[in-house]
């Protein structure tokens, strides 16, 4: 959870920059919910998140937060784009289920989350 918090703080800084750019492109007017500009900003933030996590997972299996806490994401074979993308999408599903997908790790014999089970991945403790 601490690795996720660390990565979310890094992403928050990127989101601020993206929002500033969107504000500038919207003639310095606030983005109103439900407008095309606001929907494009949301899609852009989702794309930024996807690229952030996929890049790090495919290049070493660790985001900066995961490096700090010494954990690594590994696939059942070799981590590839399909595993990483499926992990990303299913992690969103895990949050969408009120965090149930993450709580599953407390009860699973190998401490795997719902998105680990869906994507065929596991988190390794590198300590």
Q: Tell me the domain boundaries of the chain.
A: 2-125
Q: Span 1-17, mean pLDDT?
A: 94
The pLDDT tens digits of the residues spanning 84-122 come to 999 999 999 999 999 999 999 999 999 899 999 999 998
Spatial neighbors of 94 by CB under 8 A, at least 6 apart, are 100, 101, 102, 113, 114, 115
Q: Span 76-80, mean pLDDT?
A: 79
pLDDT of residue 28: 87
pLDDT of residue 127: 87
pTM of the entire predicted model: 0.89
State yes or no: pLDDT of 42 exceeds 80. Answer: yes
């Amino acid at each position: 959870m601490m690795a996720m918090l660390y990565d979310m703080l890094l992403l928050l800084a990127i989101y601020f920059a993206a929002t500033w750019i969107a504000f500038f492109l919207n003639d310095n007017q606030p983005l109103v919910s439900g407008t095309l500009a606001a929907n494009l900003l949301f899609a852009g933030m989702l794309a930024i998140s996807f690229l952030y996590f996929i890049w790090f997972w495919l290049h070493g299996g660790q985001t900066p937060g995961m490096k700090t806490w010494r954990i690594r994401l590994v696939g059942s074979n070799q981590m590839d784009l399909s595993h990483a993308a499926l992990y990303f999408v299913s992690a969103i599903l895990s949050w969408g289920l009120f965090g149930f997908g993450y709580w599953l790790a407390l009860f699973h014999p190998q401490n795997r989350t719902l998105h680990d089970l869906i994507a065929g991945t596991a988190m390794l403790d590198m300590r």
